[in-house]
C-alpha cells in the first residue's frame, strides 16, 4: 500500500509507502508498478539514478529540456536531505513557487516530480544517498537548470552561504528569469 499526499502545488505529490517494522528491522516496497499505476496514472519509468553526497552539499536546481524532459520519483535511501522543488510551468497557479520537504532513509517518503519542475536538494546528514527513477532517458544536451540561490525564488536553504558545497556548474546556472523555459501548465 502507498499513501498519496497532495501538496499545495498542483501535480506535485508526496508518496508514503507502507513500512513494516519488527525486531529485525523493516520491509517496504519503494516501487511496485501495479500499485503505483492503480493510484497514479501515466508514468512508466525507464532509468534509475543514484547520487551520494556529503553534508552541506547542494545539488540543483535541475531539469531536462524537451524532448528529454523527465518526471522523477525521488527518495533518500540513506541519510537525510532537504528536498526543494520549483514549479516552472507557465500559467500554473503556483508558478515560481517552491515546496521544501524532508526526505530520509528513516521516513521513507518519496516525491513524484512531474515534468515542468526544477529540482534540487541539500544534504542535512553527514552523508546521504539519493535515488530516483525517471520516465525519460538522460541527455547531456538537454540537461539544464536554474541558479539555486536566485533571490527572486526566495528559497531558504537553511545553511550559511560559507558552508555550502556546490559544483561549479550549479553555481553558474542562469537566473530563473533568464532560463530557457518551454513548460506550460496543463490542469
Report, as an integer, the average pLDDT of 171-180: 97
Q: What are phi and psi of 108, to 5 degrees?
A: 60, 10
42: pLDDT strictly greater than 90: no
Average pLDDT over residues 177-185: 97
Q: What is the pTM of this model?
A: 0.94
pLDDT, one tens digit per residue, over 80-126 is: 999 999 999 999 999 999 999 999 999 999 999 999 999 999 999 99
Q: What is the pLDDT of residues 151-169, one digit of tens each?
A: 999 999 999 999 999 999 9
Q: Does domain 2-178 have CATH number 2.60.120.10?
A: yes
**Residue 34 DSSP one-character state:** H
- pLDDT at 55 (0 to 100): 98
**Residues known to be catalytic:** 62, 132
Which grid cell is 184? 506550460
Instruction: Delimit the domains of the chain by residue range.
Output: 2-178
Give the Cα separation of 148 and 112 in Å (integer): 20
Taking all residues of the chain, what is their mean pLDDT, rounded to a whole number?
Answer: 95
Cα angle at 120 between 159 and 115, to 5 degrees?
Answer: 155
Amino acid at each position: 500500500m502507498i499513501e498519496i499526499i497532495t501538496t499545495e502545488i498542483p501535480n506535485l505529490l508526496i508518496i508514503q509507502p507502507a513500512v513494516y517494522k519488527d525486531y529485525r528491522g523493516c520491509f517496504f516496497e519503494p516501487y511496485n508498478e501495479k500499485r503505483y499505476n492503480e493510484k497514479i496514472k501515466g508514468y512508466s519509468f525507464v532509468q534509475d539514478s543514484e547520487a551520494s553526497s556529503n553534508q552541506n552539499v547542494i545539488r540543483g536546481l535541475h531539469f531536462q529540456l524537451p524532448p528529454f524532459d523527465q518526471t522523477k520519483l525521488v527518495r533518500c535511501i540513506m541519510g537525510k536531505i532537504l528536498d526543494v522543488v520549483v514549479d516552472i510551468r507557465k500559467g500554473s497557479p503556483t508558478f515560481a513557487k517552491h515546496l521544501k520537504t524532508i526526505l530520509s532513509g528513516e521516513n521513507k517518503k518519496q516525491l513524484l516530480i512531474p515534468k515542468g519542475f526544477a529540482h534540487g536538494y541539500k544534504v542535512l546528514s553527514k552523508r546521504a544517498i539519493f535515488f530516483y527513477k525517471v520516465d525519460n532517458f538522460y541527455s547531456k544536451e538537454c540537461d539544464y537548470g536554474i541558479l539555486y540561490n536566485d533571490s527572486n525564488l526566495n528559497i531558504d536553504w537553511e545553511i550559511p552561504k560559507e558552508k555550502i558545497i556546490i559544483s561549479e556548474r550549479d553555481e553558474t546556472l542562469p537566473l530563473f528569469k533568464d532560463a530557457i523555459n518551454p513548460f506550460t501548465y496543463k490542469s
